[in-house]
Structure 1
Amino acid sequence: MKVFKNQFNKKALVCNTFEMNALNDRLKAAKGRIDSFITGLMQVDDAFTFEKLEKFLTAENAKEASFIDYVAKRIDERTDIRETTRKSQRKVVGSLVDFGKICEFSDLTRSNILDYDEFLHGRGIAQPTVHSYHKTLKTYINDAIRHELMTSNPYLGLQFKRGESRHGMYLTEDEFAKVRDVELGNESLAKVRDLFVVQCLTGLAYSDLMSFDFNRVSKVGDSYVIEDRRHKTGIEYCAVLLPEALAIVRKYHEQLPRFSNQQYNMRLKVVAEAAGIDKPVASHWGRRTCGMLLLNHGVSMETVAKVLGHSSIRTTEQAYAKL
């Protein structure tokens, strides 16, 4: 709290302001917490350190925060997750705010979690995404338990199936050709179409496409090869810039256009409609289409896994076995 010099003295503490009673109550409460901390140290004959005090106050402040505030704070504090994961987890916080029944630590009950599950499904969210929301929520509940902010886990005894992703999210070769060749009078739509074609020919995920750097492309014989790690998972991938993809990169002077994920997907749907394709095309369809094109042209499953940066060939087999 901040006050002017004439609004504080050692006896009256905060004075000469209409907020003085409320501010003094806060000061006394803070002093009371520190007094209890020191008394606790004295009772066990433990030495005082500022590090112990800081840890004590951090825990006390966390107890005063709501569960939503606690999760939001921990997401921002963590250094062991990628920025893409951080953004995804913030969506979970937003869903809790919209749900409105899990705000405080006391709201974390079995009944409310079941209602939260129904709430997510009611918004049309696919089961794999719902499962990931529950997984994130469990992570921060366990984190709160470790920090002694909770004593029990409301997820005990509850199981939510992971579900299966929809396997049909790809374009056929004919559909890919229509997208590639469609006439677009809008420059912005043309840029998005070009980016999507690059995705279909390289398997680059949206985040890797947006961070594409031609300086990381190496020439091997007559081919241009991208070797990097996926932003989302950190897994290595290796893909060749086919002549058509290379031509697009050259078209933009080796600096591909950039769009936010929302704007990119929104424009992609317009491009698909202009090409006469009645499918809800989104950025991830580019990776699926790349895998489909490679398999159709006799490329081995092992190579497709390497191109797409899958953690194991089993992931690739599960995704493409039905195509």
Structure 2
Amino acid sequence: MIQFKIVYRSKNKKLRKDGTAIIQIIAYQNRKRRYISTGLFVEPRYWSNRLNQVIDHPQAAEYNAEIKRQLNELEVFAFDWLRQHGAITLEELNHHLKYKDSKSFTEFWKYELEHDTRLQKGTKKKHQTALNYWIAFQKDVRFSELSFRLIRDFDTFLFGKGLHINTVYTHHKQVKKYINLAIRQDLLEPNKNPYLKFQVKTAPTERIVLSREEVAQLEAMTFTKENRHLDLVRDMFLFSCYTGLRFSDTCAIQYEDIDQDKEGMTLNIVAKKTTKQMLLPLYRLYERKPEAIIQKYKDEVMHERGPVFHKYTNQYFNRALKELAKLVGIQKPITSHVARHTFATHLASKVPIHILKAILQHSKIETTMVYLHLSSKLVNDALDGVDW
């Protein structure tokens, strides 16, 4: 357990130029200690070592109440942490105090973003972009300043930059993430979350989906010496069309992630975005076409270790997909996301919706339902073109 003690002039024996010295709280454990500033300074004649409090000072009552408040806050935090986790160290206390000292939500956001090793590169970039807009809106926001009015003004600021409504929604989403993180770390009271009163708006987006005929066009493509570099891009895109994998997961597949038995290949990975394990029987999908793509590259390298595909940047991959679409005559703006949309839409009419939800690793059934509606739309559009 951590012990706390109030001290005066403990670290610096010299007085400040105004003749005052600081009052501190020592947290100590196993001969280690941490000095915590109370932010209060008094002259030596106003401090009683025997009583551990300010005496004969014009603001003695106020100062002593503040010292007790801070000491009580530390003791309550230590007790709650001990009750929840069974033990507490000075390191946990330091982490708690890191933001208590500054009381800056912006600094909290900066620190958490910088030290979160779980975020993928693309996700971290989104969070940083939102943080950049937040700082441009107001350089430093303290926890006490988080309010409905502040968030509303931030919303107005974003729209003033000419951002699309869904881009504004994305930036609000990042702000909400770090506010909720601060609440979980007991840096902000849950009832002071400004988003309890502010509703962020979004607009429906069109999901681009390839028809079976368009997928067949990509499958039938042949390449010349000049555009041979597009062969791998095409195969990676088709692999996602057959499996529903996100672009980041397709890039990361290793030969070691593929289990082979008498029935065929099974992909065994941990999804980058959800960190959930995924077991995908490739031999059961699209007449074993995913297996054929894996085997194609396995035969080329003649080994069973290392990456199957290539770790392209999303920007390069999307530019290459535009080249592919132009070569084959597809008049749709194809991106890496289109492959996953295509898989989900085509499968929506073939399997129960909860099975599709599990394969896509959606957290909400409403997200999966979108693909059921898209599947129905594809059927209706196809029927519209029939000359009865």
2:289 pairs with 227, 230, 244, which one?
A: 244
- Distance in 2 of aligned mates of 1:313 and 1:147: 33
Q: Which residue of 1 aligns with 2:263?
A: 222
Alpha-carbon distance, 1:289 to partner:
0.9
Q: Which residue of 2 aligns with 1:160?
A: 200
Alpha-carbon distance, 1:205 to partner:
0.7
Q: Which residue of 2 aligns with 1:70?
A: 108
Q: Which residue of 2 aligns with 1:140?
A: 178
1:118/1:248 Cα in 2 relative to 1: closer, same or farther (>3 Å)?
A: farther
Identical residues among aligned pairs (%): 27
Q: Which amino acid aligns with 1:271?
A: L
Q: Which amino acid aligns with 2:357?
A: A
Alpha-carbon distance, 1:90 to partner:
2.5
2:236 pairs with 182, 191, 195, which one?
A: 195
- Distance in 1 of aligned mates of 2:36 and 2:356: 63
SS at match of 1:218: strand
Higher strand share: 2
- Distance in 2 of aligned mates of 1:245 and 1:91: 36
Q: Which residue of 2 aligns with 1:5?
A: none
1:94/1:278 Cα in 2 relative to 1: closer, same or farther (>3 Å)?
A: farther
Q: Deviations over 1:191-217 (max 9, x none)?
A: 211110110011111121121122222
Bigger CA radius of gyration: 2
- Distance in 2 of aligned mates of 1:186 and 1:105: 52
RMSD: 4.3
Q: Is 1:103 aligned with 2:155?
A: no
Alpha-carbon distance, 1:31 to partner:
7.2
Q: Deviations over 1:124-175 (max 9, x none)?
A: 5452x533431321232355574369x9554452111355443x32111111
1:235/1:321 Cα in 2 relative to 1: closer, same or farther (>3 Å)?
A: farther
Q: Which residue of 2 aligns with 1:83?
A: 120
Q: Which residue of 1 aligns with 2:335?
A: 282
SS at match of 2:137: coil
Q: Which residue of 2 aligns with 1:17?
A: none
Q: Which residue of 1 aligns with 2:79?
A: none
Contact 1:236–1:309 under 8 Å retained in 2:
no
Q: Which residue of 1 aligns with 2:362?
A: 310
- Distance in 2 of aligned mates of 1:225 and 1:259: 24
Q: Which residue of 2 aligns with 1:322?
A: 374
Alignment length (residue pairs): 293
State the structure with bigger RCO (CA 8 A, min sep 6), 1 or 2. Answer: 1
- Distance in 1 of aligned mates of 2:235 and 2:181: 44
Unaligned residue ranges in structure 1 (runs of 5+): 1-9, 13-23
Q: TM-score, normalization: structure 2?
A: 0.60
- Distance in 1 of aligned mates of 2:102 and 2:39: 19
